[in-house]
């Protein structure tokens, strides 16, 4: 079992509830791709989604930062903001002007 699996044993993850109008809209979405596309179109939904997962992010960060591997403590980073992502793409486009954000994958 990986170190991360040990650190997350017995952890239940549940996001906070959003206002009902956004919950209804969110429930209709099936995939992360659907969620991302809808959040692009609806800024209020995006903001509410970001707010409702803060508790989960904090829990995962705390559990991960308590792990040690070969006497090294695990470190975490905050998610990149839209501004940081845009700045990164501006730099990437100087190297490869054919790349777009929509064509990237993990």
Distance CA 5, CA 70 (A): 16
For the record, the structure tokens of 53 come out as: 């997962």
pLDDT in tens, the chain (106 residues): 576 676 677 777 788 889 998 888 888 898 988 998 898 899 999 999 999 988 888 888 888 888 888 898 889 988 888 899 889 988 988 998 888 777 766 5
| 11: nearest Cα among 49, 60, 50, 46 | 60
């Amino acid at each position: 079992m990986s170190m991360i699996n040990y650190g997350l044993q017995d952890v239940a993850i549940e996001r906070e509830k959003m206002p009902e109008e956004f919950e209804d809209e969110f429930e209709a979405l099936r995939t992360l791709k659907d969620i991302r596309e809808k959040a692009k179109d609806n800024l209020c939904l995006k903001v509410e989604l970001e707010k409702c997962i803060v508790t989960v992010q904090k829990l995962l960060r705390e559990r991960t930062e308590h792990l040690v591997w070969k006497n090294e403590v695990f470190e975490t980073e905050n998610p990149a903001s839209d501004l940081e992502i845009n700045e990164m793409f501006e730099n990437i486009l100087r190297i490869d002007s054919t790349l777009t954000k929509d064509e990237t994958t993990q």
